[in-house]
Amino acid sequence: MTNHPEHSTRGTFLRRAATLLTLVPALLVTSLTGTALADPPVQWENNPPASPLHVILILVVIPVALFALITLLVYLPSMGKGESYQPGQPWRSEPEWFGGPRGGVQAADRTEQPLSVGGSADHRDERGGASGRW
Amino acid sequence: MAAGEAFTAAQRHEIDKAIRDAETLCRYEFSVFVGRSEGESRPFAERLHATLVAPERSVLVLVDPAAKLLEIVTGTEARRVLDDAEVHLAVLAMQSAFAAGDLVGGIVQGVQQLAEHARRPQVRHGS
């Protein structure tokens, strides 16, 4: 019972010594390599110091330009689609007739006269449909 | 601007497909005209309708996007299964799509809706 505290102090001393023994070489090695890396090898040629503008060009401008270029390339198809016609804008294109006769509107112009002569009033009424505006 | 600038190839294909689907669904012929209507829109739409191969069995949808006008003409035969009230419903659906700026979507939706209504089996009781 009396030597128990002494035993515990010796235990702590041993533990501290062990940690010191492991830490010191680790610290030494890392600090040594640190000093070794501080000086570039002699064989390396001495580059002139880069100007900040040059650094910004290499590290910022070129990546940003690449980013913009790739983004543009990705979005270009959908942008082209987005430029297509929106309702309400003046219609500048030729009319589009899906499922219409081969001649298109010109054919309608040509056949207008005979049909309006041939179609009687009651025949006209038989056609149905609806109109709307928006 | 060159002809056909208004729609991309994909959009044109979408409308074509809607028309084809509608025609296989209800066996009536659909035709969609998108462009400026010359003069009064209703007579112009009827004139276009009359030019079709089989006007009696045809449904013509005219969309004048610049004037924000919409006309649907049904032939005499098509009208038997597709009455004016049903056409008006399709007109309403298309109007709301057009008002939202969706020209192609409105056309596709309208054509589909017309075909759905026209598909309804013709029930003819003895009387």
What domains lie within chain B, and their CATH numbers? Answer: 9-118 (3.10.310.50)
Please, where are the H alpha helices in A39-128?
52-56, 62-82, 105-118, 121-126
Q: Please answer whether residues B93 and B78 qualify as being in contact, where contact means their C-beta atoms are separated by less than 8 angstroms.
A: no
List, in order, residues 6 or more apart from B19 with CB less than 8 Å away: A98, A99, B30, B31, B32, B111
B33-71: string of b/e by CB count within 10 Å (b at 16+)?
bbbbbeeebeebbbbbbbbbeebbebbbbbbbbbeebbb
Tokens matching residue A64: 């940003």
pLDDT (0 to 100) of residue A120? 45
Domain that holds residue A17: 10-40+49-76
Distance from CA of A74 to the nearest CA of B (A): 18
Residue A31 placed within a domain: yes
Best of B24, B51, B74, B76 to mutate (most A CBs within 10 Å, chain A): B51
Computed over every residue of chain B, the mean pLDDT equals 86
Burial class for A59, CB neighbours closer than 10 Å (0-12, 13-18, 19+): exposed
- pLDDT exceeds 50 at position B1: no
Give the residue from A104, A84, A90 showing the smallest Cα distance to B32. A104
pTM of the full predicted structure?
Answer: 0.61
Tokens matching residue B89: 């419903």
Tokens matching residue B65: 């996007």
- B90 contacts on A by Cβ (under 8 Å): 130
Residue A66 placed within a domain: yes
Distance from CA of B24 to the nearest CA of A (A): 13
Residue A24 placed within a domain: yes
CB contact under 8 Å between A87 and B46, yes or no, is: no
Of A101, A123, A129, the CB nearest to B51: A101
Identify residue B106 by its one-letter amino acid code. G
pLDDT (0 to 100) of residue A114? 44
Residue A101: how many CB atoms within 10 A of its CB?
17
Please, where are the H alpha helices in chain B?
9-26, 41-51, 76-81, 84-99, 103-119
Residue A32 placed within a domain: yes
Tokens matching residue B74: 């049904």
Cα dihedral A63, A64, A65, A71 sign: positive
* Number of domain units in chain A: 1
Residue A56 placed within a domain: yes
Which secondary-structure segment (H or E) carries B32?
A: strand B29-34
Residue A84 placed within a domain: no
pLDDT (0 to 100) of residue B3? 44
pLDDT (0 to 100) of residue A102? 77
Tokens matching residue A3: 């030597």
- B66 contacts on A by Cβ (under 8 Å): 88-91
Which secondary-structure segment (H or E) carries B69?
A: strand B69-74
Residue A93 placed within a domain: no
Give B 65-84 residues with CB within 8 A of chain A: 65-66, 68-76, 78-79, 82-84
Average pLDDT over residues B47-51: 89
| Selected residue with higher pLDDT from B113 and A27 | B113
Residue A67 placed within a domain: yes
Tokens matching residue A50: 């880069």
Computed over every residue of chain A, the mean pLDDT equals 75
| Selected residue with higher pLDDT from B95 and B38 | B95
Stretches in chain A below the pLDDT threshold 50: 1-2, 113-123
